[in-house]
Amino acid sequence: MMKYAMVFNSQKCIGCQSCSIACRSENKVPEGLYRLQVKIQGPKGVFPNLAFDYERFSCQMCENTPCVSVCPTHASFMDENGIVDIDANKCVGCLYCISACPYHARFLNPQTKVPDKCNFCKDTHLKLHGEPACVSVCPTDALVFGDLDNMNDPIYEILSKKNFTRKKEHLGTKPKLFTIPNKKGEIKL
Amino acid sequence: MGIHRRDFLKGVGLSSAVLSMPGMLGAFEGKLKGSQKFVKSICEMCSTRCPIEARVDENNRVFIQGNIYSKATEGGICARGGSGVSQLVDPKRLVKPLMRVGQRGEGKFKEVSWDEAYEYISVKLKEIKEKHGAKSVAFASKTGPDQTFMNQFAYGFGTPNIFDHGNTCPSGYATALTSVYGSGSLSRDFADCKFMLNFGHNVYEGMVISYARGVTKALEKGCRLISLDPRFSVLSSKADEWIPIRPGSDAAFMMAFIHTLIFEELYDKKFVQKYTVGFEKLKESIKDYTPERMAKECDVSAEKIISLTRECASYAPHCMIDFGHRATFTPEEIEFRRAIAIANALLGNIETKGGLYFPKGAALYNKIAGQKVAPIIKGSILPKVPEPNEPRIDGVDIKGGEFSKIPKTRGIYSKVYETILNEKPYAIHGLWITRSNPVMTVSNSDEVVKALKKLDLFVCVDVYMSDSAQYADIILPESTYLERDEHFLSDDGKNPGYQVRQKVVEPIGDTRASWRIYKELAQKMGFGDLFPYKDIEDFRMQQAYEYPEEIYELKSKGLTSYGIPLLARDKESIAKFVEKYPNSKQFLDEDGEFSEILKCKTKSGKIELFDEVLEQACGRGALKYNDPKLKGDSQFYFIQGKVAVHTNGHTANVPWLNDLMDNNAVWINQNVANKLGLKKGDSIKIKSEVGEQIAQVLPTVGIREDTLFAYFGFGHTSKWQEISYGKGMNASHLLKNIISPVSGNNVHTIGVDIEKI
């Protein structure tokens, strides 16, 4: 049993989209749709003191899961390792989960007719190589994947040392995707 | 192979438009034959050659990631690299040789066999050779292993006119480094740098994984990064300070920087005395370029220039002034890049941690180690063909001449198109290009098209019907890098190494690799003996038959590295090296440094702060600031740069990458946009002296008020590439085909006027 989680270090992210392409490639995401996107926002500030923000959009792997609770057939579920996933065989295509997700992380896959989203490459790269595809290709190591239940996991150390945020925390969804916020001109440990 | 492309075609989901185009893959839905285990190889989605590994899985998916054995990339890969599969199975990929029917540029082609294609080409080449001489055919390639075969073919045929893409990309820094250090290929120790000055070398968007990782590691360790760039780039966003310097005036900043180093005596006197020549002449040439005077030119205050110089020097020798990559900002590129090369030498940051260093090949490394550490694998096994005894069209071959710093395998590529049109110094009647797209990448695209239309023979080797290929007489479809094996390549860093490209899948359709194309055509033309190998495996065995174990390791790991890292002036590195290789002690000099490694291939054998050869050739021995006057008073500077998800003129039609970005809006300062009433997405006409383009605007605070910026690689004109056709703008239509002195670069900045439409 694990409690899989991911750190997105936006100080180190350069918005290069290699994660997004690796995800598409490994998980056969239909063209034009994304399980994972990184957006470069900005620049903001007063010339010439400017900054870009780098933001990851993907499933937040909530511990309190709006998408699971609305699913009438238990097709949306959380597995024993804390990964929020979809059982295509049980899905009746009601799309409640898509509208329930406060992070807009789900989309309808036009090929399978089943909602689709990031599942940490559970059936693909994680299964074969021990980590999600986006993590393995990131040129600047802006992504760290690990087990929150293991105190020896590097992710544990990072989260105990660094400030981090989680999206829409006020909703009480307790996401397991942690963001280290970007600070202008600083990539420092 | 005997497999016809139609074996792969399925009627379902295939538009008639795709079917009507001959020679293209269509919607590939066949089974890929390839390895289910990760095969170690080398990427070719750009020219960098990052180490990769790729596999086909049971569901017929290809997955590509970085090679984990690489110390420089540690498994990282960029979006372009990850999209190799999207190019591999792209319906618009070429898979059959095509022959033009109808007028040139009309866009009518028919599929032909390789034999028919070879026959046509060899007859035409012989005809041109008889009528006008072999020299009237030019050959050009994107930099890469393919050049080995193309250049051999060209010399075998008898022309001296071979080119790579250098003058539209890295020639500026390479010639400058050659002038100062005698070699155009110095490496940068980004990861250990403590203070970095960067002039628009946007390593986070012009993606080279090892650079991006290196800079990130340095920043993590607290390196100070200063980005001087007229627009706010991703690199600027990670920098401690962004300084929006005036376009084209970077040389002014560097002159003042060197002035401050010298006259405040901040330079490394011992290093200068021991390893360099020409210091007094440099001092003389720089004496009038005070920070106060130069500040007006570059729009950076004198105080700022002085404080940055002092700060940089305080970190020496663990600091770096990055010499950049793609040039050229101005016609004065050589002065700017050479000023950078010289400033680094003054700081003494050569062969130090966080500075610059010479790549150490096996022969040199073994010599210094005093024992055989690394195998010496031959670069090429091809018999040396003497250079044809004819003058080149670009003057690069004139000994001691202005352009003599440019290698003869590189040349001044954009001269080809000028020469086709003006026939000076003599006419060019035939052109062979491979993975080159001059209509996109050479300045003044309209002239390039005119030139292409004038040729008697135009052969194009490509994977796509590019903007340039559409004007060809014959298009030869090359296997993509995922479908071909190549010879062993050296991959030297602080210690020697090798790397190899290996195929992941069997070729789709009727494509061939370069090693085969040139060999077969040479055989047809009667000089097949210049290609003495059966296939690429035979070539590899001839390169390295003495080292069977190394071959095995190289093929299984994709890359090898021998010995330990060596920096010839870093105490810690030297101590480790001497401990490991005790025989090396004999090469230590009185300061305990391996000064042997700093012996330069310059005329003096030392680092040259004043270039006697250039002084003789064109009076450019000293550093000099000439204001290049790039625009009129009311005009904007038009500048351009790379984006992380595309490679120059090559990838706009790769479906996954096109999906990420298919257009390039032009950045304009928000205040200026407000004044002109321009909102995001509004269209403007951009006009220069030579052409015009329509573009959408992106008002932003991230650019100077006198500057417009666009990513390049958009505005494609090949209708065959439907998803990228006509989207965005291409600055090459606006740029004049100017060759900058000494470096021979195509100049990439121009003054423009804009109007709202």
pLDDT in tens, B507-516: 999 999 999 9
- Nearest CB neighbour to A188, from listed B222, B232, B234: B222
Q: How far is B486 from chain A (nearest CA, A)?
A: 24
CA distances from B63 to B81, B425, B676 (A): 10, 50, 48
d(CA B25, CA B5): 7
A·B CB contacts under 8 A: 131
Q: Give yes or no for residue B2 having a pLDDT over 70.
A: no
Q: What average pLDDT score do residues B576-603 get?
A: 98
Q: What percent of chain A has pLDDT over 70?
A: 97
Q: What average pLDDT score do residues A106-131 get?
A: 96
pLDDT for position B16: 38
Q: Does B269 touch chain A (CB under 8 A)?
A: no
**Contact across the interface for B75 and A15, Cβ inside 8 Å:** no
pLDDT band at A188 (very low <50, low <70, confident <90, very high): very low
- Nearest CB neighbour to B238, from listed A16, A136, A187: A187
Q: Does A4 touch chain B (CB under 8 A)?
A: no
Q: What average pLDDT score do residues A78-98 get?
A: 97
Collect all residues of chain A within an 8 Å Cβ-Cβ radius of residue B236.
50
d(CA B438, CA B732): 9
pLDDT tens digit sequence for B532-575: 999 999 999 999 999 999 999 999 999 999 999 999 999 999 99
Q: Give yes or no for residue A189 having a pLDDT over 50.
A: no
Peptide bond into B582 cis (omega under 30): no
**Contact across the interface for B81 and A18, Cβ inside 8 Å:** yes
Q: What percent of chain B has pLDDT over 90?
A: 93
pLDDT tens digit sequence for B34-48: 989 999 999 999 999
d(CA A3, CA B293): 62
pLDDT for position B326: 85
In three-state secondary structure terms, B472 is coil
Q: Give yes or no for residue B10 having a pLDDT over 80.
A: no
d(CA B663, CA A19): 21
Which residue has tokens 């760290």?
Answer: A144
pLDDT for position B570: 98
**Contact across the interface for B213 and A139, Cβ inside 8 Å:** yes
- Nearest CB neighbour to B232, from listed A26, A50, A137: A50
Q: What average pLDDT score do residues B345-374 get?
A: 98
Q: Does B34 touch chain A (CB under 8 A)?
A: no
Mutation site, B216, B241, B674, interface A, largest A CB count within 10 A: B216
CA angle B391, B393, B398 (to 5 degrees): 50
Calculate the CA dihedral of residues B90, B96, B102, B103 and round it to 10 degrees: 60
Write down the ipTM of this complex.
Answer: 0.95
d(CA B665, CA B728): 7
Contact A25, A35 (CB under 8 A): no
Which residue has tokens 């998980």?
Answer: A27
Name every residue whose Cβ is closer than 8 Å to that of residue B69 and which is 6 or more positions away in sequence: B40, B51, B557, B558, B559
Q: What average pLDDT score do residues A161-171 get?
A: 95
Q: Give yes or no for residue B225 having a pLDDT over 70.
A: yes
Q: How far is A83 from chain B (nearest CA, A)?
A: 23
d(CA B132, CA B427): 8
Collect all residues of chain B within an 8 Å Cβ-Cβ radius of residue A47.
244, 701-702
Which residue has tokens 């008020």?
Answer: B705
Contact A48, B703 (CB under 8 A): no
Q: Does A127 touch chain B (CB under 8 A)?
A: no
**Contact across the interface for A42 and B702, Cβ inside 8 Å:** yes
**Contact across the interface for B659 and A31, Cβ inside 8 Å:** yes
- Nearest CB neighbour to A24, from listed B239, B656, B702: B656
Q: Give yes or no for residue B412 having a pLDDT over 70.
A: yes
Peptide bond into A66 cis (omega under 30): no
Sign of the CA dihedral running A146, A152, A158, A163: positive
pLDDT band at B14 (very low <50, low <70, confident <90, very high): very low
Which helix (H) or strand (E) is B338 found in, with range?
helix B333-347
pLDDT band at B18 (very low <50, low <70, confident <90, very high): very low
Q: Does A112 touch chain B (CB under 8 A)?
A: no
Q: What average pLDDT score do residues B88-104 get?
A: 94
Mutation site, A19, A134, A161, A187, interface B, largest B CB count within 10 A: A187
Q: Which of A85, A83, A109 is nearest to A95 (CA)?
A: A109
pLDDT tens digit sequence for B445-482: 999 999 999 999 999 999 999 999 999 999 999 999 99
- Nearest CB neighbour to A139, from listed B212, B655, B659: B212
- Nearest CB neighbour to B219, from listed A22, A32, A187: A187
Q: Give yes or no for residue B4 having a pLDDT over 50.
A: no
**Contact across the interface for B234 and A52, Cβ inside 8 Å:** yes
pLDDT tens digit sequence for B180-224: 999 999 999 999 999 999 999 999 999 999 999 999 999 999 999
Residue B277 tokens read as: 């020549």
Residue type, B650: H
Asked whether the whole model's pTM tops 0.90, one would answer yes
Helix, strand, coil percentages for chain A (3-state, nearest 5): 20, 25, 55
pLDDT tens digit sequence for B46-80: 999 999 999 998 888 899 999 999 999 999 999 99
Calculate the CA dihedral of residues B577, B580, B583, B586 and round it to 10 degrees: 20
| Chain mean position to CA B704 | 27
Collect all residues of chain A within an 8 Å Cβ-Cβ radius of residue B51.
none
Q: Does A171 touch chain B (CB under 8 A)?
A: no
Residue A65 tokens read as: 């899961």
Burial class of B755 by CB neighbour count within 10 A (0 to 12, 13 to 18, 19+): exposed
pLDDT tens digit sequence for A105-116: 999 999 999 999
d(CA B730, CA B716): 7
Q: Does B216 touch chain A (CB under 8 A)?
A: yes
pLDDT for position B26: 87
**Contact across the interface for A25 and B63, Cβ inside 8 Å:** yes
Q: What is the DSSP letter of B133?
A: -
- CB atoms inside a 10 Å sphere around CB B100: 20
Q: What is the DSSP letter of B676?
A: H
Q: Which chain A residue shows the shortest CA-CA distance from B52?
A: A137
Q: Give yes or no for residue B19 having a pLDDT over 60.
A: no
- Nearest CB neighbour to A137, from listed B77, B700, B701: B77
- Nearest CB neighbour to B204, from listed A14, A20, A45: A14
Collect all residues of chain B within an 8 Å Cβ-Cβ radius of residue A187.
216, 219-220, 238
Q: What average pLDDT score do residues B351-375 get?
A: 98
Contact B360, B493 (CB under 8 A): yes
pLDDT tens digit sequence for B536-547: 999 999 999 999
pLDDT for position A184: 60
pLDDT for position B12: 33
pLDDT tens digit sequence for B617-651: 999 999 999 988 999 999 999 999 999 999 988 99
Q: Give yes or no for residue B3 having a pLDDT over 90.
A: no
d(CA B33, CA B536): 20
Q: How many CA atoms lie within 13 A of B40 on its CB side?
A: 19
pLDDT for position B328: 79
Beta strands A4-9; A143-147: pairing state: antiparallel
d(CA B239, CA B725): 36
